[in-house]
Structure 1
Amino acid sequence: MTRITNPDQSFTESDYLFFQERLKHLKAEDVIRWAYELFHDKLTYACSFGAEGIVLVDMISKTKPDARIVFLDTHVHFAETYELIHRIKKKYPTLQIDMIEPDLTLEDQKAEYGDRLWATRPDLCCEIRKNRPLKKALEGSTAWLSGLRRDQSPTRANTEFVNQDDKFQLVKVCPLIHWSWQDVWDYIHANELPYNELHDQGYPSIGCEPCTFPVKEGEDHRAGRWSGMEKTECGLHVKPNSAKE
């Protein structure tokens, strides 16, 4: 399908346009298969284990049972999230699920920047506990997978199947861009997949516990993330913009 034969080469704008044209009618499973055929072990899936993440984990397991999946363990996730990861590891024992931790412990972070950094300087907190760890985890990778969907937020509306990721200097593959929230849950229920129990308690989008709240009926699905702040993204899916220290 693709004219690319060396996954380590630097892709041009023309290459990305070629990808978009050739992949535009494929199903999510086919995009995943294409990505692993091209990038092999240099493709890493960064999973938050939200609803979309569970769909991708299941699809990936059918294409590459020993795929590498990384989870950014900030040490402030919900207990329900850790319990879900435990269940996923039991269900898919051949997947390589790595828990990626920040260099700073919460105690060290408090000593250096003050208590509750997520409330006082949330961008810096995400930079320390998510962005820097992911950058380190992706070293040696050529591409990474993400569960972004276009209808999640205005900032994600133009996401393509294959994207040039300037932040991490990699290729970012997003197989679920055309899926709706209903599509995600139809797949989860049809395949009887485990999922985070918080989804049943008004949490459509789940991140770190201090920064995630349930949403009201009719609200945007990401309204519960950093509620009351101007912040809407952790920084993994935005163009480079260094957090100020």
Structure 2
Amino acid sequence: MKEKIDYLNRELQGMPLVDALAFVIKNFEGKKVFSTSFGIEDQALTHFLAPYAEFITTFTLDTGRQFTETYEVFQRTQNKYPALNVQTFFPDAEDVNTYVSKHGVNGFYNSIENRKECCRIRKVVPLQRAIKGAELWITGLRAEQSENRSDMQFLEWDEANQLVKYNPLLHYSLKETEALIDTYNIPLNSLYKKGYLSIGCAPCTRALAEGEPFRAGRWWWEDGKKECGLHIHTDKNY
């Protein structure tokens, strides 16, 4: 697999987005999935992946704590791209009830451990169901989103999930991503124009102040590197 990934990454250098998507989809014969949280990057990819709806399973993780605006853009996206047939994966109700009983409905504010456990229950566990059996996972990750993501490749072996992860917008800047949205009239979460550049669960997301980095509005009460556990970039050994 390492040789295949290295080869494909070399071929993808400088390739236009439309061609790159077609190239990668052609080179993976197994189950292919695309995860969307309806953020700006995922919305841009939705537009370009819509023609491949019959070859890709599109899914979203509904944590139960989403913004109303996220559901609104979900509906608008379904209306514009009905062929994608977005599948929704929810957390296990018993896991949520156990967490709330132990830590409280907003117990994630009390410690990093509590917050990560909430993310695990509401995101990571449902993700495992969503990507089960997949060979390729397409994401909207961009290198400039955070320090954690700055050394990614277009295609990477995800050791934890035992599949290949593909990041088509890896080298896109935020302005370039916004240009795709404007050019193709792609539905966008209305919170984005209000300073919510990275949108997660409502209790864990705030608008950015001027000059703050892209993900500063996520889990803003915590210090250091902040991820929910969906995307881990520590294993580069394939």
Query: Equivalent residue of 1:172, what SS?
Result: strand
- Give the conservation status (yes or no) of the 8 Å contact 2:35–2:58: yes
Deviation at 1:239, TM superposition (A): 4.6
Deviation at 1:67, TM superposition (A): 3.1
Match for 2:80 among 87, 91, 106? 91
Deviations 1:31-75 (A, max 9, x none): 211222123561100111100011000000134466321101000
Over 6 Å off, 4+ runs: none
Aligned to 2:90: 101
Aligned to 1:116: 106
1:171 maps to 2:160: no
Deviation at 1:20, TM superposition (A): 1.4
- Give the conservation status (yes or no) of the 8 Å contact 1:149–1:177: yes
Match for 2:226 among 220, 224, 232? 232
CA–CA distance in structure 1, aligned partners of residues 54 and 10 of structure 2: 28
Deviation at 1:21, TM superposition (A): 1.1
Q: Is there any run of 5+ residues in structure 2 with no aligned partner, and where? A: none
- Give the conservation status (yes or no) of the 8 Å contact 2:149–2:233: no
Aligned to 1:129: 122
What is the correspondence of 1:1-245 to structure 2 with a 5 Å cutoff?
11=1, 13-40=2-29, 42-64=31-53, 67-104=56-93, 106-120=96-110, 121-230=114-223, 232-239=226-233
Deviation at 1:235, TM superposition (A): 1.0
Deviation at 1:210, TM superposition (A): 0.6
- TM-score using structure 1 length: 0.88
- Give the conservation status (yes or no) of the 8 Å contact 1:29–1:59: yes
RMSD of Structure 2 on Structure 1 (CA): 1.8
CA–CA distance in structure 1, aligned partners of residues 175 and 227 of structure 2: 22
Instruction: Name the count of aligned residue pairs.
Output: 230
Q: Which moved more, 1:64-73 or 1:122-131?
A: 64-73
- Give the conservation status (yes or no) of the 8 Å contact 1:66–1:96: no
CA–CA distance in structure 2, aligned partners of residues 24 and 206 of structure 1: 29
- TM-score using structure 2 length: 0.90
